[in-house]
Amino acid sequence: MPESLLASLNLSVASAEIFMVSAICVVLLVDVFLSDRSRWITYALTLLSLVGVAIVTVKTGVSARVSALEGAYVADPMGDVLKLFAYGTVAVAFMYSHDYLRRRGLFKGEYFILGLSALLGMMVMISAGSLVTVYLGVELLSLSLYAMVAFDRDSGVAAESAMKYFVLGAIASGTLLYGFSILYGLTGTLQLDELALAVREVGPDKLGLIFGLVFIIAGIAFKFGAVPFHMWIPDVYHGAPTPVTMFIGSAPKIASFVLAIRVLAEGLDSMVASWQGMLIVLSVLSMIIGNVVAIAQTNLKRMLAYSTISHVGFILLGILAGTGIGYRAAMFYTLTYVIMAIGSFGMILLLSREGFEADRIEDFRGLNRKSPWFAAVMMMLMFSTAGVPPFVGFWAKIAVLGAVVDAGLVWLAAVAVLLSVVAAFYYLRVVKVMYFDEPSDSVAVEGGGVVRALLTVNGLAVLILGIFPGALIDLCARVLP
């Protein structure tokens, strides 16, 4: 290949993705020749791959926006931060899952390889500079998650959940692609920066563009899990093995956020008046349905599923503000939510043991008497998720509400506050069960030292970031001006 062509492609800025593809191939090849007793090698290689790609990302980090692959790939500070956060989230998810998978005979290479493939899809989405690149990342992430949900081959419930997820996901992907094709037909470009200029020339009020936007919003809403495209979340969260539920409920939210930012805030920024109204409807419906239906749940995974839907409504609040302040608030909320969600599912993994899934709210009864510290950790996670000060979830909600008020949507902020009060009920119910109900059994809390240490750090993180939220807020402000 001529050097001039290599220079024009600027592949060096995509070193992280190249490294991850190579690492996946290596892990896959090594895992083929391993016995079940040697599967720890796959686990170790997976964690080493995550460390390696983090180092590569730091080494090749940029201080300003850089394009590569003729505009199909974009590197910027926001992308670097989100990638590093995604690596850490995936690594924590793998470490939380280790003991659970071993106890149930599910400690297989497929889980880790599919997880790395899903991470690669997130990385592609984060650095997408073209609608084609966006779609490639979406599909790589989605296909990996479909397979992960059906990872437990002996579980009929998991298989059913995977089929529902696959069918609905295929429809959503087709919807998203159809919207992209309409944009291309009207503007003649797939590059996001060129698309922004072309939309202004065509006219943001053109009926064809609005028609395409409707399909794009529907696709984005499905990937987020916003109402009325939320029907897959409760079934998938409940039916999938808990480590897979934890994976789906954490890191992919970063990809969903960046999908909305790249397509709406960058490519369709001149159509903000059109997509703002659509997102208002999605946001309000998500907060209402998510919080109200969560009250009736007795299964903790399903409760957290509806909780996710309500939090998606809050993330959309920041995005629909259509301002830099709103985008930064949405990014801050997304990162905060990922920290809280992965810790909550980590607690379910900690309390689970062979033949027992701690996925019902009543399974946490009397946890304070069996393990006061981990009851406190779960309490901190629930309080933070509910938005109770001084935990970081409180500041995330304040940031989003402030952006909405600045955008002149005071009534929307009032609705969000009211529904946050409703949400506090089902989070406090978990705390009440842990501290005021009698234990249902006398079995001690199991779990290895690594899981216990990680959960301790996870719980303290929501408290420390709540007391000192400035560091994370400033980081979002620096990388997303």
Query: How confident is the model over 152-176, as pLDDT tens digits?
Result: 888 888 889 999 999 999 999 999 9
What is the average per-residue pLDDT within 48-54? 95
What is the average per-residue pLDDT within 223-227? 89
Instruction: Kindly indicate the confidence band of residue 3, based on its pLDDT and cuts at 50, 70 and 90.
Output: low
Beta-bridge mates of residue 360? 299
The answer on pLDDT for 8 being more than 60 is no
Instruction: Kindly indicate the confidence band of residue 2, based on its pLDDT and cuts at 50, 70 and 90.
Output: low
Delimit the domains of the chain by residue range. 3-479
pLDDT of residue 153: 82
The answer on pLDDT for 440 being more than 80 is no
pLDDT of residue 431: 92
CA dihedral 460, 465, 468, 471 (to 10 degrees): 140
H-type alpha helices, 188-206: 192-202
The answer on pLDDT for 6 being more than 60 is no
d(CA 6, CA 70): 11
pLDDT of residue 7: 53
pLDDT of residue 319: 94
Please state, rounded to an integer, the average pLDDT across all residues of the chain: 90
* Residues making up the chain, counted from first to last: 481
- Contact of 246 with 96, CB cutoff 8 Å: yes
Query: How confident is the model over 250-304, as pLDDT tens digits?
Result: 999 999 999 999 999 988 888 888 899 999 999 999 999 999 999 999 899 999 9
What is the average per-residue pLDDT within 458-475? 93
Instruction: Kindly indicate the confidence band of residue 104, based on its pLDDT and cuts at 50, 70 and 90.
Output: confident
What is the average per-residue pLDDT within 91-118? 91
- The first and second tokens of residue 18, run together, are 């190249």
pLDDT of residue 4: 54
Residue with tokens 């020749």: 33
The answer on pLDDT for 39 being more than 70 is yes
Amino acid identity for residue 153 in this structure: R
What is the average per-residue pLDDT within 192-203? 88
The answer on pLDDT for 34 being more than 90 is no
pTM of the entire predicted model: 0.94
